[in-house]
């Protein structure tokens, strides 16, 4: 029996406002929900909304078929609250569009606090090149679900 500890990933950890984090979160049972780019755009709308309303400053993101990589800085909410907001709001939007119910996302997420000595632009380039490494596109311009502030 496989035990998932996702709900414990954030237990007892704090986030810093204005510090960049790389977030990775995965769909339930790694279902390739975002293979349909139109469903991926529902998630993208929530990422943009989080930035628009000051919950996070988005630096780069890529939506893969079964997960999200998001380079961001928490704004007026904690990292945990921002990720919960994105997952919850995107799930509601996806269910409304598809007429489905149930979990969209696995519990928990992975976060990496970016250190001062790390090259954040190189990290962003690595993130948005994920579709190329996965064989989903031959050029990043051919993949519809990514963005970065440095463009």
pLDDT for 1: 41
Three-state SS at 113 = strand
Closest C-alpha among 66, 54, 53 to residue 145: 66
Q: Examine residue 11 and state whether it is found in any structural domain, yes or no.
A: no
Tens place of pLDDT for every residue, the chain, 151 residues? 444 444 444 454 567 777 999 999 999 999 999 999 999 999 999 999 999 999 999 999 999 999 999 999 999 999 999 999 999 999 999 999 999 999 999 999 999 999 999 999 999 999 999 999 999 999 999 999 999 998 7
CA–CA gap between residue 10 and residue 26 (Å, rounded): 15
Q: Examine residue 55 and state whether it is found in any structural domain, yes or no.
A: yes
Q: Examine residue 10 and state whether it is found in any structural domain, yes or no.
A: no
Q: Examine residue 9 and state whether it is found in any structural domain, yes or no.
A: no
pLDDT for 50: 97
Supply the DSSP string of 121-149, one letter for each residue. HHHHHHHHTHHHHTTS-SSGGG-SSEEET
CB atoms < 10 A from the CB of 116, how many? Answer: 7
Return the biggest CA–CA distance within the chain.
46
Residue with tokens 């309303």: 53
pLDDT for 13: 56
Domain with 89, as residue range(s), is: 16-132
Q: Examine residue 147 and state whether it is found in any structural domain, yes or no.
A: no
- In this prediction the pTM is 0.89
Q: Examine residue 3 and state whether it is found in any structural domain, yes or no.
A: no
State the CATH number of the domain containing residue 85: 3.30.70.1290
Q: Examine residue 141 and state whether it is found in any structural domain, yes or no.
A: no
Domain count, the chain: 1
Q: Examine residue 54 and state whether it is found in any structural domain, yes or no.
A: yes
């Amino acid at each position: 029996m496989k035990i998932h500890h996702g709900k414990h990933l954030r237990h007892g950890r704090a986030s810093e406002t204005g510090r960049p984090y790389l977030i990775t979160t995965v769909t339930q049972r790694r279902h390739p929900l975002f293979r349909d780019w139109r469903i991926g755009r529902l998630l993208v709308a929530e990422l943009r909304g989080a930035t628009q309303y000051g919950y996070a400053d988005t630096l780069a993101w890529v939506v893969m078929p079964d997960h999200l990589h998001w380079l961001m800085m928490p704004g007026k909410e904690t990292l945990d609250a921002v990720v919960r907001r994105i997952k919850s709001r995107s799930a509601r939007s996806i269910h409304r569009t598809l007429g489905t119910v149930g979990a969209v996302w696995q519990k928990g997420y992975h976060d990496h606090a970016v250190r001062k000595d790390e090259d954040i632009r190189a990290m962003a380039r690595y993130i948005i090149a994920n579709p190329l490494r996965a064989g989903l596109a031959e050029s990043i311009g051919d993949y519809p679900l990514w963005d970065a502030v440095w463009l």
